[in-house]
Amino acid sequence: MTKERIWTAALIIIGDEILSGRTQDKNISQIAVWLNIQGIRLKEVRVVADVESAIVEAVNSLRVKHDYLFTTGGIGPTHDDITVDAIAAALGVAVVVHPDAEKILHDYYETRGGLTEARLRMARVPQGAELIENKVSGAPGIRAGNIFIMAGVPGITAMMLDGLNGKLEGGMPLLSDTLGCWVAESEVADLLAKTERTHEGCQIGSYPFFREGRVGANFVIRSTDHDRLNKCMLHLADGLTALGYPSEFGGISPISG
Amino acid sequence: MTKERIWTAALIIIGDEILSGRTQDKNISQIAVWLNIQGIRLKEVRVVADVESAIVEAVNSLRVKHDYLFTTGGIGPTHDDITVDAIAAALGVAVVVHPDAEKILHDYYETRGGLTEARLRMARVPQGAELIENKVSGAPGIRAGNIFIMAGVPGITAMMLDGLNGKLEGGMPLLSDTLGCWVAESEVADLLAKTERTHEGCQIGSYPFFREGRVGANFVIRSTDHDRLNKCMLHLADGLTALGYPSEFGGISPISG
């Protein structure tokens, strides 16, 4: 097996509402799952405030470290939507009205009260950027080089991701399988470490939980190679059984809390 | 009003399971809300992989920028739990077994199969660190200078936060109130911007949603000053009514997606 190139991405969540705890983020997990299907690994996430300097710093730190950089939030029509300006500042380019975005918004708002100055803000892009289709609410996402500027509302982000399906180059998706087991992870720590060590190309994560008064753990095995993953999982399952802990393929769902 | 000192914190979520999308993070919002009660603002969050260099970089970048740094995840007994080692490396100190932690774990595991080598890993701390009580599962959290090392399991983190209640110096909590309104935010963007501009010490965030086929938005007003917050909110409510959009105090809950 030749060593395949791993494509990576970072994500910047822009929003005071996440940092205040008011809003429970849903974009990290949906973008992570979508990226993996494209063969791209999400390697780092930052949540930053609606403050231009904070956005600029994060953008310039992450856009050079990864193949792709996604942002969510701050692309609406109101005064607190400063993502486009901040990314343009980070890239050192002007903010311009994209003619196609203006046309999309003009058509969308034709029967919705007209294209006001505030709404026209949503046609502004960093110079040289392309649009990402938004079937839900008119205002498009934006691609500026390797930066993908997405909505903050998870349902709109989902539709924008849908529009990007298959358009980004990636590598092998990371496959994963889970073994669930009613065992304290500390009972089987040696087995986990040894199994990972003897199965090249596989990583094992251990995720303990408490449920109905019992401790348990889900062991997630990750690999880009299907056969290696299977071998590692069977080895771990046998090892758990030998220690007196039968496991369940597919994992045990902890109650959410 | 003299300008009060603002106390800030950052949070590092350590965990491949968040970056893979497998686990929906719950620690950002619970820690954000808890910090605000202490009078501390969460200003930045990073989610990093279970990789020592990634943790070290994030720790050293954030611990000097903020009054407090919290981490979650990676403090269990298994091979993928490397947070203590990474933070000790970041601080340039040794990893030592904390005698109180060893005693806590010894007592906890006395009736649970004994203190194995794997379990003793959970008594390891960066040299000079103190413990944070964990009433749930024995293994304590760790305070190393201004770094607070917490569990990844949200229920355990919650108990550790409980143990820290009132022990961290903070400033004025950020107060917030919400006006919910069945209006496209773009219709009232000017009003929002003008209201924020004319109410010093107040920030207004606009959070649109779609529900039952209608568009709406919650407008969140934030301030450390109760009177200013109230004045700003009433001004905005009057402005919305004048434009033909009556609003609801407390906001309108969007359906979760």
pLDDT score for B257: 34
Cα B24 off chain centre by: 15
Residues above pLDDT 90, as percent of chain B: 85
Q: What is the mean pLDDT of chain A?
A: 93
pLDDT score for B193: 96
Per-residue pLDDT reduced to its tens digit, B213-235: 888 999 999 999 999 999 999 99
pLDDT score for B134: 87
Q: Is A45 on the interface with B (CB under 8 A)?
A: yes
Could you tell me which of B58, B102, B61, B117 has the C-alpha nearest to residue B83?
A: B58
DSSP helix/strand/coil, A144: strand
> What is the C-alpha to C-alpha distance for residues B17 and B75, in angstroms, rounded to an integer?
14
Neighbouring-strand partners of residue B205? B220
Nearest by CB to A25, from B21, B25, B44: name it.
B25
3-state helix, strand, coil split of chain A in percent (to 5) is: 35, 25, 35
Q: What number of other Cβ atoms are within 10 A of residue A8's Cβ?
A: 18
- B52-62 and B83-91 are packed helices; what angle lies between their axes, rounded to 10 degrees? 50
Which residue type is seen at A64?
V
Residue to mutate among A27, A41, A47, with most B CBs inside 10 A, is A47
Residue B82: closest CA among chain A residues belongs to which residue? Answer: A205
Residue B157 has pLDDT above 50, yes or no: yes
| Interchain contact, A29 vs B16, CB within 8 Å | no
> What is the C-alpha to C-alpha distance for residues B238 and A127, in angstroms, rounded to an integer?
39
| Interchain contact, A47 vs B28, CB within 8 Å | yes
> What is the C-alpha to C-alpha distance for residues B28 and B17, in angstroms, rounded to an integer?
15
Task: Write down the ipTM of this complex.
Answer: 0.91
> What is the C-alpha to C-alpha distance for residues B82 and B55, in angstroms, rounded to an integer?
9
Per-residue pLDDT reduced to its tens digit, A117-174: 999 999 999 999 999 988 877 789 999 999 999 999 999 999 999 999 989 999 988 9
**Cβ pair A72, A152 in contact under 8 A:** yes
pLDDT score for B254: 58
> What is the C-alpha to C-alpha distance for residues A19 and A25, in angstroms, rounded to an integer?
10
Distance from CA of A141 to the nearest CA of B (A): 16
Six-digit token pair at A81? 């939507």
* 3-class DSSP string for B164-188: HCCCCCCCCCCEEEEEEECCCHHHH
| Interchain contact, A23 vs B207, CB within 8 Å | yes
**Cβ pair B219, B204 in contact under 8 A:** yes
The residue-averaged pLDDT of B61-80 equals: 96
**Cβ pair A203, A176 in contact under 8 A:** no
Distance from CA of A83 to the nearest CA of B (A): 14
What is the sign, positive or negative, of the torsion defined by CA atoms of B20, B23, B24, B25?
A: negative
Six-digit token pair at A51? 């403050």
The residue-averaged pLDDT of B74-93 equals: 96
**Cβ pair A107, A173 in contact under 8 A:** no
Q: In the sheet that B175-181 helps form, which strands lie side by side, from edge to edge?
A: B203-211, B214-223, B175-181, B247-249
Neighbouring-strand partners of residue B40? B7
| Interchain contact, A210 vs B33, CB within 8 Å | no
Q: What number of other Cβ atoms are within 10 A of residue A79's Cβ?
A: 21
Residue B54: closest CA among chain A residues belongs to which residue? Answer: A44
Domains of chain A: 7-164 (3.40.980.10), 175-249 (3.30.70.2860)
